[in-house]
Each structure stands twice: as structure tokens, then as C-alpha cells.
Amino acid sequence: MIGKKFEGWECINGGLQCCGNLSPEPHYPSITRYPKGTSPAVEGSEAVITVVFCVMGMTCAACAGSIEKAIKRLPGIVEAMVDVLNDKAQVQYYPSIVNEEKIREAIEDAGFEAKSMGESSNSTSLQICRVHIGGMTCTSCSTSVESSLQSLRGVQIAQVALATEEAEIHYNPNIISYNQLMEAIVDTGFKPVLISKGEHISKVELKIDGIKNEQSMNIIEQSLRRLQGVETIETYQDINNIVLTYKPYITGPRTFIEVIESTGSGCFRAVIFANDGGRKAHKQEEINRYFKLLIWSLAFTIPVFLTSMVLMYIPGVKHILEIKIVNMLSIGLLIRWEFSTPVQFIIGRRFYVGAYKALRKGYANMDVLIALGTNAAYFYSVYVVGRAVFSSHFKGSDFFETSSMLISFILLGKYLEVLAKGKTSQAIAKLMDLTPDTAILLSQDDKGNVIGEREIDSRLIQKNDVIKVVPGAKVASDGFVVWGQSHVNESMITGEAKPVAKIKGDMVIGGTVNENGVLHVKVTRVGSESALSQIVRLVESAQMAKAPVQKFADQISKYFVPIVIVISLSTWISWFIAGKLYTYPKSWIPKSMNSFELALQFGISVMVIACPCALGLATPTAVMVGTGVGATQGVLIKGGQALESAHKVNCIVFDKTGTLTVGKPLVVTTKIFNNMSVKDFYEFVVAAEVNSEHPIAKAIVEHAKNNTQDEQNHSWPEAKEFVSVAGHGVKALVQNKQIMVGNKKLMLDHNIVISVEAEEILAEAESMAQTGILVSLDGEVVGVLAVSDPLKPDAKEVISILKSMKIRSIMVTGDNWGTANSIARQAGIETVMAEAQPETKATKVKELQSCGYTVAMVGDGINDSPALVAADVGMAIGAGTDIAIEAADIVLMKSNLEDIITAIDLAKKTFSRIRLNYIWALGYNILAIPVAAGILYPSTKFRLPPWVAGAAMAASSISVVCSSLLLKKYKRPTKLNNLEMNDIQIE
């Protein structure tokens, strides 16, 4: 894609520079595009072939641009995309018009070596599916599912998140199918439900009226299958619904509805079926399920509680409850048995099922502890009932209230936990709700004049539609302004509070609010392509990814439950033996118990008070809230790894152009040394530079256009033998003269003498933080251009704040030493590395790491990508290139340097919360287990009844989730608020 110009994007500094948009056009390795005038829906149209070439000799984006132009000159080319980083060119063409050999020759004619790598296919690429997994209770469950999936051949990555109850699986569809993945999860003992499958594939469900029989549905299905871009079709005859998956950049729901309604003489009608089968539905279903279980459990438990702990102290009622039915079996004991049984075996069935599935797979989870504890209490009580029935003098205490109350309190805890966990993902829910329900679709004639408008469901918007956005309305989809001007509030997407001015050609983001003025917007991205969808996906992936510190909890969870069971049995046996050997006085035993029952209560309390759930929730809930808060602040953090590394950062390496500087160079000085006119001088310079995608080249071309009369019809001389010299400049043959435009090193490498006057102008420009560009014709320097790229207004303050945080700042740039040192002085940076190639930047990062620094790299271009990957934390400027954003761990959507401090501060706060959560979880277990085992009983006679222990266990999970939720109150550092106020005053 490098070297290609997109709607709203242009290649700058070796990469894609956004014109006000958040995220770049996604990569589509095998998209079928059609020339103007042809319809993708035409059946029988010639198939487009995609071929990939290995291209050797490319050094920068200018090379990619020249190759792309050479290929596109050929007839029959549909699309050409060149990847300079991977030395590849992907070409889509009509085989009846052009062939591989001609394409290869065109590449070689452009001055590069090319070799065909064969036809490209998506069939070998990895697919991603997201699955909701119901029934997981603790980190042992999630670890078991994750291990099971990762052991499957064809699965590259499997991540299971306990907090969201979801799995993200990267797999090769040629080796393993989606159904096999689902079966593997079922075999582990859990219920999987598909959320999404495939990348850049959208899914829609349509409700169709007018279906009379199976033949009608078949006719509709056949009509839809003819459409290009339709992936799969599933029909549901019983409810007259049809589900389609499709590529949103080729077709969309409106086309589906039009096709359906034009089929069968217009007797069918179709609408989008509002069926939310996603997270919201699953979460609400889980909340409702626990609520119902809790209500039923309380309905049976309350009578048990009353008959055992309340009514026994009311004289008249006590007498009735103590009436004997058979031998020593009383009415009260029978009531407790009858009411506790449904709680134990019907309401508590989920614990039996969970424990069985876990043990069958060879691990123990929270369900095992609950099942053991409640069964011990219940079946001992049944034994008491049996003894009472067959004995006329037996006196024993039952624990029916222990088992039923224990289950009720655990269900209460799970219900509150599910409610709290739902709030941790509110950031995603808010983002997903930003898109408006409806949009105004404009109809246009061939000349682009508006001839009508109608309101449609926003889900029916398709690529290249033109929509109308009135003041106060939300923008329905990503696109660029084709008419009108206004200010758009983008704070809900980027976190930027100030409205952004929008005129013709500017990009707008779906979900943002138009404040004043009417805009006509041409849609460029819909569905999974949209910026909003990409942000949601990024945040979702971040919440799926485990922080390294989570491994600590995973290791503990493997042994936690078995150790607790051993401690519980040891507690029961110790107290039982101590009672039999009379090692403690009989006065310690409550009147309603014997030594065996006292020991049993201690053992059950230990078993149910231990809580691996809290340990498993400590990290993921904090990461979920932290990444969600970051998204609302305009900082996209790609998971727990990034958070954990960011909080340790003590050295930041900055790129210069577009990072510390504004990134929009301007020509400020033109000096010509011979009698050539300014117009003739720029004729030569622009003829060479117009082929380059470098920001300085673009600045020179733009300057020449603005100073050339009748620029609309002006044509520049043709440049032959164009060559881009990476990091130095360009050279070409223009009007039979050899021209070079570049830095001093380019001239010296070609043995061109630089005059004293030219040296002085270069030195003066560099002292003023300007970049000096030399121009030579036929081996003689004929002029010097000075290009200025000013420092960002907030750069100096941000560097100062970082210094106060004891974080070292370093600048690494490919620019010359003079300009680099001048910019560094203005910003307050002491350490500078100039004239650095991309690999040099990565090497510098590694050197700093070897010195013990935790390094963050901040950049925006393709040339920053190696360093972004090499750094402990890569931070990409949001208006930078797609490759830089892909390589980074953190994306700063507003392109403001102050967000670097926000990201680091948020990471520190989140990691502090994780530590606090671990203190809650571990500290609770370390303190609670000895208390439950009776360590305080000899001295204080204090003991925890099992039902109280169960309530405490439930409270521990809730406390950890609530602790994480406190992160939602995060505020940016006060220094940044002051900095923002200064910026507003300056403006």
C-alpha cells in the first residue's frame, strides 16, 4: 500500500499521513476492485487475478510510488499495491488484457528486479474468531480452556479472558475448522457461543415478509449468491430470516434488501432484524440467570434459616418445631431437610456440573470447593436425620442451614460480581453506541448535483454513499467532506475537547457530532473498516491480552484449590483428633454440637472461604477498565503487556518530523546562484520532486504551485531516469539536464563542489532549525532551499514534565545535525542522534535497553516502525502511518505529545490498582484461611460458621472488581490540564 494515495490519506515521509482522520485504510490482501463503469454484481464478468511479485532494490516510498505508476500505466490493471518494507508488490489484473510477464517487465523498466511469487490467496491466511464462553468461574477454568485450544494443531494464538468470558482464537482454516474449535471448548466442559468470525467480514440478519414456501426462500438465496462480496448465506425457513456474512467494502445490506425486494415480482419485503446476539445479550442473560437462581434459592433458604436460627427462640413456635414425628425426628428437622434439598441438588446443580467437568479434565476450580463444602454439610445432616429416625435417644445438630445459606450467599456474590464486571466494559458499550440510528442518504445525478434525499437506517449505509449531516447530528460513517463547512466535535473518539474545523476534502469520523453547518460526506469506510470499529477491536484485543503479571495468578491457580482441599481436610482431622484425645476442654464445644461437628464446621469453613476467583479477576478487570478509560482519553493501549511496560518507562526516544514538529514543512527561503529565473528554477526542481512522496518534496511542490500562475493548467516537464536516494534526496534527467535535489551528502557523494556561499546559507538555515536543500544542474550547485517544520507548541512543556518525572528524553532523526540540534535546543532535549537510518533508530533503542533503560519510542512514520517494535513500549502518533500504528503498543489518537504523559500516568495508576487487587485477593486468603481453620478459637472463642465464610468469599471477588472500577474516576495529571489551558490561550 506504500506509495498509494487514498481518499483522505497521502504518502508522507515514507508512510501514510492522515488528513484529519484517526486510522488508516485497512490492508486488504486480495480485494477485487472494478474499473469505473463496471458493476461488481454483474454475473459472468471476468475474474480478476491477484499476483504477488518479490521486488528487489526498493529503498523508500518514492521507489514504491514509481513502481506503482509503472504498473498502472499498463492496460487491464485493476489495482497495484506496493509494500516497501517486505519488498512485495501485489497486482490485480484482467488476464485477457495483460499478463504476469508484462507486469514484471514494467517493474524492471522502472529500475527494479522482480520475480513472481504466484497468485495470492486468502485461503492460507489466519482467521480470527471471537467466542463467548459461559460457565467459567475462576482462572483455573480460563487456563484450562486456553491450554486446550493452544494444543490444537492449526491454532496459532488462543487467549481466554475470565473477566469478559470471551476467547479470541487465531487459527489456520486450512488445518482446523471453526466447528472443531467449538467442539474443543465443549469438551473442556463449557458452552461456546460465536461472537464474530473472520476479519473485515460483516454479518447481517434480515427479516423477510412474503415468504410462502421453501421455494421462495431458495429463489431469494440464489439471487443473493450472485452478488460479489457475499461470503456465506444461512436461511431459517421457520422464522423467515436470512443471515449473510459479506465484505463491506464490496457490498452491503442496502444492496441485499434491494435484490430481495426486486425478486419475485416485488412480493417480498426485507428489513434488518434487530437481533443483538452479542455481548450485551449474553451479559444480560447471565445476569437474569443468576438473579432467578438467587430468588429461588432464597425462597427455600429463608424457611431453613428461620427454623434453625430464629423461630427456635420463640417459645410457642419452638414447641411446635420440636414435636417428634418418628423417634427423635422433629418437625423442624424435617422442614429443614425438605427445603434444603432443592437448594442443594436443583439450584446448586451448576456447582456439581462445573466440578464434574473440571475434575474430568484433571483440574480443580471453585465449583469443586463449593460442591465439597456443601455436600459435607448436607450429607452429614442427612446422617443426623437417619440417626434421629431410628433412635429414640439420639441428639445431634444438623447443618442444613449451612449448605443452603452457603449456596445462597455464593449466588448473591456471583450476581453482584456479574453486575460489577458488566460495568468494567462500559467503555466498549459507549463506543459502540456512538453511531446514530439513522442517516440522510443523498441521491445525485451524473454531475454530482443533489436530486433527492431520504432517511435510512444507518446500518444500510454502503461505501461511496453520500450522506447529509445536519447541525447537531452525529456523523453516521467515516468519509470525507464533499460539500459544506462546519466544526465537528471529535472528543468522543479522540478525546480532543476542541471542535475541529471541517471543509471540503477533510475527513470525518463516524460517531462524531457536527456542531454547526451542513456537511455532505462521501462514505469511505463502513462496518468493520470504520475508525470506530477499529477502536472497538483494538480495545477488545487489549482486554483479551494478558499482562505478564497475570502469569503469577495463573501459576497460583494451578495449585490453589488442591492445597485448599488439603488444608481443609487437615483442619477437620486435626480438630477431630484433638477432640477425641481431649487435648482441649469440653467447654470449647458449643452445647448444640459435639467434637466431630465442631471439627466438621472448621473444615467446611476453610473449604468455602478460600477464593481463587478474586485472584483471577485482579489483573483482567483492572486492564479492562484501564484500557477503556484510555480510549475515552484518546489513548489506545494494546493490552496488559503495554500497560505493564509503560509504567516502568524511564527513557523516551522521539522521532523529529511529525512527532516533535508539526510535520507540515514549508519553504521559507529560495536562493538562486545563477541568472536562472525563479520560474525556470522551480520547473526543474518540481519536475524531479513531484515523483517523491517525502514531506519536504511535497512542501517544495506545493510552494511552487502557489507561486505559479494558472496552476490548475500548469504541467511540469517530464523527469526521466528518476532515482530516489534514501535519506538524501532525488536525482533525475529533466530537459536533458542532470538535476539533483537533496542534502549535502548527496552532493558530496557525486563529487559536486559546494560553494562557500551555499555553505553559509546551509549553516544559517540549520541554526534556525530549518532544513537546507541543495539543487544542482549538470554537476553545479545552482540554488538552496530552506524548509521549516516548526516545533509543536506543547513539545517543550511535555519534555519538561517528563524530566520532572525522572524520564530521560532523546531525539533520533534522519535530518541533518544542525537542524536536529536546533530543534532539540528548542524542545529542551539534551541527547540527539541525527542522520539516522531506520535501522539505526532501532539499534539506538537496543543500546539504551542494554544500559538498563526501559525505553518508549514515539514516532509516526514507516521509518519508525523498526524502532517502535524494538522498544519496550512503542507509541504511535494517531495521524501517522498505518504501519507505525500497527507496530506500536500505544496509539495517541490526538497526535498530542501530552498524551505520552497521560499514557504513562494511566499505566502507573492501572498497575498500582493491579497490585492493590493482588493485596486484596492474596491478603484475604492468607488471613481468612487461618481464621476459618480456628486459629483464634482457643483464645477468643471466635469462629466463622460456614455460611459466613461463604459470604466472605463472595465479598472478596466483589471487592476486587469494585477496586478496579475505581479506575473509572481517573483524571489526567494536573500539569497537563494547565498545559491545555495555555494552548487555548495561545490560540
Residue-by-residue DSSP string for 592-630: T--HHHHHHHHHHHHHHH--HHHHHHHHHHHHHHHHHHH
970: cell is 481517573
Helix (H, G, I), strand (E, B) or coil at 801: helix
d(CA 98, CA 85): 27
Cross-strand pairs, 134: 191
d(CA 532, CA 492): 10
What are the b/e assignments for 236-267, b being 16+ CB within 10 Å? eeeebbbebbbbbbbbbbbbbbebbbebbeee
Give SS3 for 496: coil
Contact yes or no for 744/752 (Cβ under 8 A): no
The strand pairing partners of 456, in sequence order, are: 439
Spell out the SS3 assignment of 157-179.
Answer: EEEEECCCCEEEEEECCCCCCHH
Residues 6 or more apart in contact with residue 436 via CB below 8 angstroms: 458, 473, 474, 476
DSSP states along 38-101: --TT-TTPPPPEEEEEEEE---SHHHHHHHHHHHHTSTTEEEEEEETTTTEEEEEE-TTT--HH
Please list the residues that pair with 11 across neighbouring strands.
Answer: 16
Look-up of cell digits 501517522: 880
d(CA 650, CA 648): 6
Of 401, 531, 389, 448, whose CA–CA distance to 947 is shortest?
401
**Residues facing 114 on adjacent strands:** 55
Q: What torsion do the CA atoms of 280, 285, 290, 292 make, to the nearest 10 degrees? A: 140
Region for 665 from its dihedrals, namely left if φ exceeds 0, alpha if ψ lies in -120 to 50, beta otherwise: beta
One-letter amino acid of 573: I
* Closest to 804 in 3D by CA, of 967, 633, 985, 974: 974
Adjacency order of strands within the sheet including 77-83: 77-83, 88-93, 49-56, 113-119
Neighbour tally for 301: CB within 10 Å: 27
- The grid coordinates of residue 817 equal 545535525
> For the residues of 378-392, what is the DSSP string, one character each?
HHHHHHHHHHHHH-S
CB 113 within 8 A of CB 55: yes
Examine the residue annotation and report whether 905 is marked as an active-site residue of this protein. no
Residue 349 · residue 359 · CB < 8 Å: no
Please spell the DSSP secondary structure of 13-38, one letter per residue: TTEEEESS-SSPPPP-TT-----TT-
Q: Give CA angle at 306 (301, 310), nearest 5°.
A: 150
Kindly state the cell numbers that stand for 365.
476450580
With CA atoms as reference, report the closest residue to 557 among 30, 247, 147.
147
Distances (CA, A) of 330 to 338, 384, 802: 12, 11, 75
**Catalytic-labelled residue, pool 655, 794, 872, 899:** 655
Three cell numbers written together for 241: 430470516
Residue type (1 letter), 709 = Q
Residues with a known catalytic role: 655
